[in-house]
């Protein structure tokens, strides 16, 4: 996409997230040609849309489409994906002798979908199964963030009834793309939190002046911006490096950055940010859940550290 | 010259000339040794052409993208051929000369800096002027045959080695703040200049006090015009936060690799290592984007304060990890390797102080990037 095309693309998506959420947003994305964009310019489609989705605090099943794009299987367009359980990034399916055990999460489209794509690790390869959703138990998640529309999925299906398809590229490549998508959503949410806190700091008056005058307040907001920019920088760089390691670093920085943003912005918003009168709490809830999708920052950080210690060197990254 | 070609030919050349580039065996333990090593490396890389790429032809360069300079510093740093702090002074001071000196002065002087014939220093801070740079009081008075400068500077890096100084002076009324500042290019061997090195906590007298007692400076040594000194300073600071910072990131990576090789098994926590590695990824991604903006001719500004906050965090995080992973070396070791780790650990404590404190960077971010208005 060139600059002008990107602007038109972004404007269309911005209108969509401002007007719709859930199934209506899925329909709007279809109409806007976002799925085609995803296939042709994955970078722009993912970075622009997921930032907007996070920023507007809406939900969709765009993550399912990202996985479909990454796995590159000819799955029915209406099928949903089973995501790993919260905090994890290994495949959500497990094969034993004659059965496929499924445990994970789904986005809001899964209850209405006829089939769910489940990836499982087989010997030396990853395989995908299209499982009729009627074979699975779905529980709508309320939890920390009911508006996200997640469902919890579990079930055991006889393998004979299913046709496995080899997944190529393998699961780690799909995880990497999903991590970038959720990473941008976290960055979008964090930017909105920062803007809410910024507006409050400029208008809330204490001791005869806006609280934005106080260095303690200014520095919290400055640190929030640094955390967001750090995460976004690695997210953007990840498209060049195309390595699962970099995507995991980006996701970890986005998760940690969004939680840093949440902590600082809540403190700046003070009393009003603790009420449901103010929209801040919706973002604070969302980033906790998003941090857990496809690997929480803490676990991803520990794993990276263990890998670096084992190799006794840093992976090569971001050549000029 | 494209980056790929430059990278290939430079890497080959560095492989072939390693013995010439490293006459003393290593980058050197003392500042004197490091300065001598730097002069060797600059001379050889200049004569081979590599040091000239990325600089305009009118100051002795060969043209091409500033990305080439970023790669040269990275390659020299990764190989341990230079200490990046002293190497990168060129990246800070040469652009200032190119932008603000009279063309013939820049054409004469910049090649000397690039070739390592000369060392230059930067006279900004004063005893009463740290974070509040616009309050400086070192006085330049206009006379019939030039400026006369009287006053004092402090924390002037490498002043005891320097032949020239980019000096900020007060030419307006004492309370003229940022409006009454003029930048001068001063010969350090002028009568009335006195340099006293400062003993620092990390053991290298990297900074000096510099005294000016009625020092004569010709008018043609004015950088920009009278009263334009604040612009000179504000344009210089983003250079401290771009290519120089990329070199610093390369140094931090190289030292983290050294730590991973040297730390005893079990001395480092995976979570702590992961967090430092992520910070270096973030710094490098951010700084690469800045290098590209610089190369594309964009004017760098307050957004480079984000880069600066990241490099300071990364530097202290790397050496905090050193203090944990090589605790015995840092605390009680007396061999040369231990002494180096200790010196670098101690120097890292200054990362949130020099070149604009961590607090000043956050003030800039709050005011200029977040538009939070004045804090006064």
- pLDDT single digits (tens) B278-311: 999 999 999 999 999 999 999 999 999 999 999 9
Domain boundaries defined on chain A = 3-71, 80-166, 171-311
With beta carbons less than 8 A apart as the criterion, state whether B94 and B210 touch.
no
| Backbone φ and ψ of B142, nearest 5° | -75, 130
Nearest residue of B to residue A219, measured between CA atoms: B362
Cα(B33)–Cα(B255) distance, integer angstroms: 19
Cβ contacts of B373 on chain A, cutoff 8 Å: 202, 210, 212-213
Q: List all residues 6 or more positions away from B78 whose beta carbon is below 8 Å from its beta carbon.
A: B250, B253, B254
User: The tokens of A259 are what?
Assistant: 């939680």
Cα(B86)–Cα(B348) distance, integer angstroms: 15
Query: Over pLDDT 70: what percentage of chain B?
Result: 99
Q: Classify domain A171-311 at the CATH topology level.
A: Butyryl-CoA Dehydrogenase, subunit A; domain 3 (1.20.140)
With beta carbons less than 8 A apart as the criterion, state whether A189 and A260 touch.
no
With beta carbons less than 8 A apart as the criterion, state whether B89 and B206 touch.
no
- Closest CB to A304: pick one of B260, B274, B285: B274
- Active-site residue B240, yes or no? yes
Residue A97 has pLDDT above 90, yes or no: no
Cα(B305)–Cα(B287) distance, integer angstroms: 11
Burial A13-35 (b: 16+ CB within 10 A, else e): beebbeebbbeebbebbeebebb
Cα(B142)–Cα(A268) distance, integer angstroms: 50
Cα(B299)–Cα(B24) distance, integer angstroms: 40
Pick from A274-278, B148-152, B273-277, B371-375: least confident: B371-375
Three-state DSSP class for residue B302: coil
Closest CA to B202 of B17, B21, B350: B350
CB contact B297 to A (< 8 Å): no
With beta carbons less than 8 A apart as the criterion, state whether A194 and A220 touch.
no
Residue A168 has pLDDT above 80, yes or no: no
Residue B27 has pLDDT above 60, yes or no: no
pLDDT digits 0-9 by tens, B102-148: 999 999 999 999 999 999 999 999 999 999 999 999 999 999 999 99
Residue B338 is predicted with a pLDDT of 94
Q: Which H helix or E strand runs over B195?
A: strand B193-198
Cα(A107)–Cα(A301) distance, integer angstroms: 25
With beta carbons less than 8 A apart as the criterion, state whether B278 and A253 touch.
yes
Domains of chain B: 3-118 (1.10.540.10), 121-228 (2.40.110.10), 241-369 (1.20.140.10)
Residue B344 has pLDDT above 60, yes or no: yes
Compute chain A's Rg from CA coordinates: 20
Residue B332 is predicted with a pLDDT of 96
Residue A72 is predicted with a pLDDT of 76
Closest CA to A85 of A145, A176, A150: A150
Provide the pLDDT confidence category of residue A264 given band limits of 50, 70 and 90. very high
Using the Cα atoms of residue B24, residue B28, residue B32 and residue B37 in order, give the sign of their dihedral. Answer: positive
Cα(B167)–Cα(B149) distance, integer angstroms: 10
pLDDT digits 0-9 by tens, A39-49: 999 999 999 99
User: Is domain A80-166 annotated with CATH 2.40.110.10?
Assistant: yes
pLDDT digits 0-9 by tens, A185-206: 999 999 999 999 999 999 999 9
CB contact B234 to A (< 8 Å): no
What's the predicted TM-score (pTM) here? Answer: 0.96
Residue B185 has pLDDT above 90, yes or no: yes
Question: Which phi-psi region, left, alpha or beta, contains residue B179 (left: φ > 0; alpha: ψ -120 to 50)?
Answer: alpha
Interface probe for B, chosen from A193, A314, A315, A316 (most Cβ of B below 10 Å), is A314
Contact between B362 and A301 using a beta-carbon 8 Å cutoff = no
Section B224-234 average pLDDT:
96
Residue B135 is predicted with a pLDDT of 94
Cα(B307)–Cα(B243) distance, integer angstroms: 11
Contact between A320 and B270 using a beta-carbon 8 Å cutoff = no
Q: Average pLDDT, whole number, for chain B? A: 95
DSSP-derived pairing of the beta strands A93-95 and A125-132: unpaired
Residue B241 has pLDDT above 70, yes or no: yes
Nearest residue of A to residue B292, measured between CA atoms: A320
| Backbone φ and ψ of B181, nearest 5° | -115, 140
Q: List all residues 6 or more positions away from A216 whose beta carbon is below 8 Å from its beta carbon.
A: none
**For B136-140, which contacts have Cβ atoms below 8 Å and span 24 or more sequence positions?**
B136/B168, B136/B169, B136/B170, B136/B181, B137/B170, B137/B174, B138/B167, B138/B168, B138/B169, B138/B170, B138/B212, B139/B169, B139/B170, B139/B171, B140/B169, B140/B170, B140/B171, B140/B182, B140/B184, B140/B217
Residue B113 is predicted with a pLDDT of 98
């Amino acid at each position: 996409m060139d600059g002008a095309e990107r602007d038109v693309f972004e404007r269309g998506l911005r209108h969509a997230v401002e007007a719709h959420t859930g199934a209506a947003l899925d329909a709007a994305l279809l109409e806007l040609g976002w799925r085609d964009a995803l296939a042709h310019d994955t970078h722009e489609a993912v970075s622009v849309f997921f930032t907007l989705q996070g920023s507007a605090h809406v939900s969709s099943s765009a993550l399912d489409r990202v996985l479909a794009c990454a796995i590159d299987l000819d799955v029915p367009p209406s099928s949903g994906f089973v995501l790993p359980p919260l905090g994890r990034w290994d495949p959500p399916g497990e094969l034993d002798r004659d059965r496929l055990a499924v445990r994970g999460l789904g986005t809001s489209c899964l209850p209405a979908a006829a089939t769910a794509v489940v990836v499982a690790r087989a010997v030396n390869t990853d395989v995908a199964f299209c499982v009729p959703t009627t074979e699975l138990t779905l529980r709508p998640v309320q939890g920390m963030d009911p508006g996200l529309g997640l469902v919890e999925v579990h079930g055991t299906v006889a393998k004979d009834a299913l046709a496995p398809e080899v997944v190529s590229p393998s699961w780690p490549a799909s995880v990497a793309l999903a991590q970038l998508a959720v990473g941008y959503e976290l960055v979008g949410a964090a930017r909105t939190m920062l803007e809410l806190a910024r507006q409050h700091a400029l208008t809330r008056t204490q001791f005869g002046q806006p609280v934005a005058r106080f260095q303690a307040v200014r520095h919290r907001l400055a640190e929030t911006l640094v955390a967001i920019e750090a995460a976004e920088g690695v997210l953007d760089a990840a498209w060049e490096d195309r390595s699962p390691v970099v995507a995991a670093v980006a996701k970890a920085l986005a998760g940690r950055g969004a939680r840093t943003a949440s902590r600082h912005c809540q403190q700046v918003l003070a009393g009003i940010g603790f009420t449901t009168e103010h929209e801040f709490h919706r973002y604070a809830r969302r980033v906790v859940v998003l941090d857990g999708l496809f690997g929480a920052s803490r676990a991803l950080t520990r794993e990276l550290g263990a890998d670096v210690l084992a190799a006794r060197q840093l992976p090569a990254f971001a050549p000029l | 010259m494209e980056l790929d070609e430059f990278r290939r030919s430079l890497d080959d050349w560095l492989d072939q000339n390693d013995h010439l580039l490293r006459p003393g065996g290593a980058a050197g333990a003392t500042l004197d040794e490091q300065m001598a090593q730097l002069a060797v490396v600059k001379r050889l890389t200049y004569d081979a052409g590599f040091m000239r790429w990325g600089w305009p032809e009118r100051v002795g360069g060969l043209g091409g993208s500033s990305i080439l300079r970023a790669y040269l510093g990275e390659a020299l740093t990764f190989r341990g051929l230079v200490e990046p702090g002293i190497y990168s002074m060129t990246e800070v001071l040469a652009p200032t000369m190119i932008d603000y000196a009279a063309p013939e002065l820049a054409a004469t002087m910049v090649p000397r800096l690039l070739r390592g014939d000369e060392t230059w220093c930067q006279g900004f801070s004063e005893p009463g002027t740290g974070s509040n740079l616009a309050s400086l009081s070192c006085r330049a008075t206009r006379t019939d045959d030039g400026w006369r400068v009287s006053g004092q500077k402090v924390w002037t890096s490498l002043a005891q080695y320097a032949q020239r100084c980019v000096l900020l002076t007060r030419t307006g009324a004492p309370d003229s703040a940022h409006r009454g500042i003029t930048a001068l290019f001063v010969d350090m061997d002028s009568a009335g200049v006195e340099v006293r090195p400062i003993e620092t906590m990390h053991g290298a007298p990297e900074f000096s006090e510099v005294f000016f007692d009625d020092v004569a400076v010709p008018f043609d040594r004015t950088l920009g015009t009278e009263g334009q000194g604040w612009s000179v300073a504000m344009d210089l600071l983003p250079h401290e936060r771009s290519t120089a910072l990329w070199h610093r990131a390369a140094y931090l990576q190289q030292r983290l690799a050294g730590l991973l090789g040297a730390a005893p098994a079990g001395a480092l926590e995976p979570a702590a290592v992961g967090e430092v590695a992520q910070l270096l990824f973030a710094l490098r991604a951010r700084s690469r984007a800045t290098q590209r903006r610089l190369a594309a001719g964009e004017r760098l500004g307050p957004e480079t304060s984000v880069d600066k906050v990241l490099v300071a965090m990364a530097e202290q995080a790397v050496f905090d990890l050193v203090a944990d992973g090589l605790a015995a070396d840092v605390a009680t070791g007396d061999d040369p390797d231990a002494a180096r780790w200790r010196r670098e650990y101690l120097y890292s404590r200054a990362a949130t102080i020099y070149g604009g404190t961590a607090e000043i960077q956050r003030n800039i971010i709050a005011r200029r990037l977040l538009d939070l208005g004045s804090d006064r």
